[in-house]
């Protein structure tokens, strides 16, 4: 009999892939201790997106979530996914931040650290590996599985020798186990057999497979992986399985019954937990992708987009009112990836390539390059698997402040220690190192979270929006042209619904924000703020203003940087669309803007 071990991803990757990481601790708590009794090898409960979403959207302290799960799950080891030198964030951090984060995570409850680098550049996992070894916890090092134009194992970059050599290097770095991370469901069953047979032959440590169902191959891939001798596989509970998530555990258990392979898990208990989870998920149904009927995406084999990234692209395009450009963006993702040297599409590279592809479609190719892509081209993220298109490299490093020629040393070697500065900057709002790390990793959203955490009002957990059944279209007609009202600011319409007619007053200044409810704080300049004959500056990208590069009175030319904007989780230096002298600035740092927001006013 061959014993197969199972890692469960329900509390991390499964809800990250399907409902934008929104499952709250309240809905995990009722099933957490039951999950603990199933007999899993480990449970993945924490990672980049959970750290981000908890503090950004759910008003939940990410550390508190881990602490709470550790209290409830006492037998099963807890694991987290760590993005190497980028930890749970989107850039490379200094070694002291990495070391402190790892030690805090180990102290709070992480037993197994799964560490990867999105470029498979092992220099980016050196520090994390060293720190994890010092804590005595399990170090799992990861190969990000990717393919080139061939769409299969092989070709000039992502071939068997590439993975064998990478795996050997990771083992020599002290890995207690190695994971193959197939974030887009690209690993086909027979390629999995070849790859896993080879790695089992050369690796003295256990081997684990993490795959996604996206392309529809995952169940078949798991079977071939099991036949090739994989030690552990990742699955999740049926209600959050399949689609862009992991394969479900339930059919796998039954498939392997009466074979030489054995899974020691309690199927009855799993079914019971599944039913309970199913009930909690009702309120999250608006987060599920219901754009199409197919639950698998055959297109993933050509555009190679992992689930989390796919749902991000959808929401980014919706924010930009450009969902009709989705198919164009999917094609552009492949092009952008080729230009940038075929990085594997995994966080943060997947977000960076995705956001850049959206920019390329909305504003023209490489007209608006995010600061992260500039840093990548410069070498701040590590070595690209293949050469970067020299034209793109030239455009990206034009006016780039850090340097004209790409760097070749370990990215973190270019950073000074950051922890003490962060401590100093945020000392009035922090009680411990955990707070400091929230700020150090997420300076903008982390700061506003800490302000809420330490304000007089208690943190109120954010609930999923109330599900509203799509109403049967009422027979709604506007039966008059706009009429002037007393206030002169509002307009009045006669509106008939069914047979009744109502006089409705509408304030046109509020219409823009009504159309974009997620950005409802977006300011709209009122008449008083308009200066006669001035030119309003608006930009075609929604986001949060992080920084101003200009001030009132300054003369600027079209193309000069005006603001640093956080959009699609990327930072972009926004060039001025107009020339002139700045006579008013109508926005401020921290403000959410839309394409209707007047950022500033210029005069010729």
- The CA distances from residue 338 to 149, 229, 246, 344, in Å, are 9, 34, 27, 11
Closest to Co ion by CB, 25 vs 183, is: 183
Closest to Co ion by CB, 240 vs 426, is: 240
How many residues in total does the chain contain?
604
Q: For residues 5 and 76, what is the distance between their CA atoms, to the nearest angstrom?
A: 12
- Give burial (CB, 10 Å; 0-12/13-18/19+) of 267: middle
Piece of 6-14, 154-162, 359-367, 508-516 that binds Co ion (CB under 5 A): 6-14
Closest to Co ion by CB, 110 vs 361, is: 110
Shortest distance, CB of residue 499 to Co ion, whole angstroms?
54
**Residues 141, 169: contact at Cβ < 8 Å?**
no
- Indicate whether 234 belongs to the interface with Co ion (CB under 5 A): no
Closest to Co ion by CB, 183 vs 281, is: 183
Shortest distance, CB of residue 305 to Co ion, whole angstroms?
13
Reduced to 3 states, what is the DSSP secondary structure of residue 200?
Answer: helix
For residue 186, say if its preceding peptide bond is cis, omega within 30 degrees of 0.
Answer: no
Closest to Co ion by CB, 8 vs 13, is: 13
Closest to Co ion by CB, 128 vs 236, is: 236
Instruction: Number of residues interacting with Co ion: please give it, by CB under 5 A.
Output: 2
Piece of 72-80, 129-137, 177-185, 527-535 that binds Co ion (CB under 5 A): 177-185
For residue 405, the Cα-to-chain-centroid distance in whole angstroms is 29
CB closest to Co ion, residue no: 13
Piece of 8-16, 138-146, 254-262, 274-282 that binds Co ion (CB under 5 A): 8-16
Closest to Co ion by CB, 211 vs 594, is: 211
Torsion of CA 595, 598, 603, 604, to 10 degrees: 0
Closest to Co ion by CB, 82 vs 183, is: 183
Interaction mask 184-203, Co ion, x per CB under 5 A: --------------------
Closest to Co ion by CB, 300 vs 545, is: 300
Torsion of CA 214, 220, 224, 229, to 10 degrees: 70
Shortest distance, CB of residue 17 to Co ion, whole angstroms?
7
Shortest distance, CB of residue 520 to Co ion, whole angstroms?
33
Shortest distance, CB of residue 350 to Co ion, whole angstroms?
11
Beta bridge mates, 141: 115, 178
- Residue from 4, 6, 7, 13 touching Co ion (CB under 5 A): that is 13
Piece of 99-107, 148-156, 180-188, 503-511 that binds Co ion (CB under 5 A): 180-188
Interaction mask 51-80, Co ion, x per CB under 5 A: ------------------------------
Which strand (E) or helix (H) includes residue 208?
Answer: strand 207-211
Place of tokens 């000392």: 427
What do you get for the CA distance between the two ends of the chain, in Å?
81
Binding to Co ion (CB under 5 A) within 461-500 occurs at: none
Exposure string for 353-383, b = 16+ CB within 10 A, e = fewer: bbbbbbbbbbeebbebbbbbbbbbbbbbbbb
Piece of 178-186, 252-260, 381-389, 489-497 that binds Co ion (CB under 5 A): 178-186
Piece of 67-75, 182-190, 192-200, 466-474 that binds Co ion (CB under 5 A): 182-190
Q: For residues 234 and 7, what is the distance between their CA atoms, to the nearest angstrom?
A: 5
Q: For residues 181 and 201, what is the distance between their CA atoms, to the nearest angstrom?
A: 19
Shortest distance, CB of residue 353 to Co ion, whole angstroms?
17
Q: For residues 524 and 530, what is the distance between their CA atoms, to the nearest angstrom?
A: 10
Shortest distance, CB of residue 212 to Co ion, whole angstroms?
6
Q: For residues 200 and 203, what is the distance between their CA atoms, to the nearest angstrom?
A: 5
Shortest distance, CB of residue 42 to Co ion, whole angstroms?
14
**What is the contact surface with Co ion in residues (CB under 5 A)?**
13, 183
């Amino acid at each position: 009999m061959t014993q197969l071990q199972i890692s469960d991803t329900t509390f991390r990757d499964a809800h990250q892939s399907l409902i934008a990481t929104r499952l709250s601790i309240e809905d995990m708590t009722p099933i957490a201790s039951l999950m603990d009794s199933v007999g899993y090898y480990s449970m993945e409960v924490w990672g980049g997106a959970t750290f981000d979403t908890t503090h950004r959207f759910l008003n939940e302290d990410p550390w508190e979530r881990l602490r709470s799960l550790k209290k409830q799950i006492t037998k099963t080891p807890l694991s987290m996914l760590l993005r190497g030198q980028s930890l749970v964030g989107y850039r490379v951090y200094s070694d002291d931040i990495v070391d402190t984060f790892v030690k805090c995570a180990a102290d709070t409850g992480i037993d197994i650290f799964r560490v990867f680098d999105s470029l498979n550049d092992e220099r980016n996992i050196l520090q994390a590996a060293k720190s994890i070894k010092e804590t005595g916890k399990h170090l799992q090092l990861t190969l990000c599985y990717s393919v080139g134009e061939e769409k299969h194992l092989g070709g000039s970059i992502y071939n068997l020798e590439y993975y064998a050599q990478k795996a050997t290097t990771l083992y020599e770095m002290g890995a207690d186990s190695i994971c193959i991370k197939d974030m887009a469901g690209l690993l086909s069953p027979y390629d999995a057999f070849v790859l896993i047979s080879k790695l089992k032959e050369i690796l003295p440590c256990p081997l684990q497979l993490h795959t996604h169902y996206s392309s529809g191959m995952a169940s078949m891939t798991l079977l071939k992986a099991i036949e090739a001798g994989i030690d552990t596989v990742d699955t999740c509970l049926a209600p959050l399985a399949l689609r862009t998530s992991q394969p479900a555990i339930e059919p796998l258990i039954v498939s392997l019954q009466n074979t030489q392979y054995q899974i020691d898990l309690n199927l009855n208990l799993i079914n019971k937990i599944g039913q309970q989870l199913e009930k909690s998920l009702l309120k999250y149904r608006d987060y599920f992708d219901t754009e199409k009927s197919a639950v698998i995406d055959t297109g993933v084999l050509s555009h190679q987009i992992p689930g989390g990234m796919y749902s991000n692209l959808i929401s980014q395009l919706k924010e930009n009112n450009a969902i009709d450009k989705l198919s164009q963006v999917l094609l552009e993702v492949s092009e952008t990836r080729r230009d940038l040297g075929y990085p594997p599409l995994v966080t943060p590279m997947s977000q960076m390539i995705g956001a850049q592809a959206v920019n390329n479609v909305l504003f023209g190719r490489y007209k608006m390059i995010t600061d992260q892509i500039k840093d990548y081209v410069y070498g701040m993220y590590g070595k690209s698997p293949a050469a970067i298109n020299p034209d793109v490299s030239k455009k990206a490093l034009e006016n780039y402040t850090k340097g004209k020629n790409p760097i070749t040393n370990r990215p973190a070697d270019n950073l000074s220690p950051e922890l003490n500065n962060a401590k100093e900057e945020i000392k009035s709002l922090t009680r411990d190192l955990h707070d400091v790390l929230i700020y150090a990793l997420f300076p903008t959203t982390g700061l506003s979270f800490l302000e809420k955490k330490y304000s007089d009002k208690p943190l109120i957990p954010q609930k999923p929006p109330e599900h509203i059944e799509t109403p049967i279209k009422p027979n709604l007609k506007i039966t008059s042209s706009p009429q002037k009202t007393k206030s002169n600011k509002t307009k009045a319409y006669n509106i008939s619904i069914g047979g009744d007619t109502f006089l409705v007053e509408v304030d046109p200044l509020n219409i823009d924000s009504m159309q974009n409810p997620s950005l409802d704080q977006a300011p709209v300049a009122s008449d008083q703020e308009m200066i006669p004959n001035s030119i309003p500056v608006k930009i075609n990208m929604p986001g949060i203003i992080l920084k101003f590069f200009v001030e009132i009175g300054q003369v600027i030319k079209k193309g000069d940087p005006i603001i640093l904007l956080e959009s699609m989780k990327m930072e972009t230096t926004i060039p001025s669309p107009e020339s002139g002298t700045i006579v008013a600035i109508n926005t401020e740092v921290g403000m959410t803007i839309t394409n209707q927001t007047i950022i500033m006013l210029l005069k010729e």
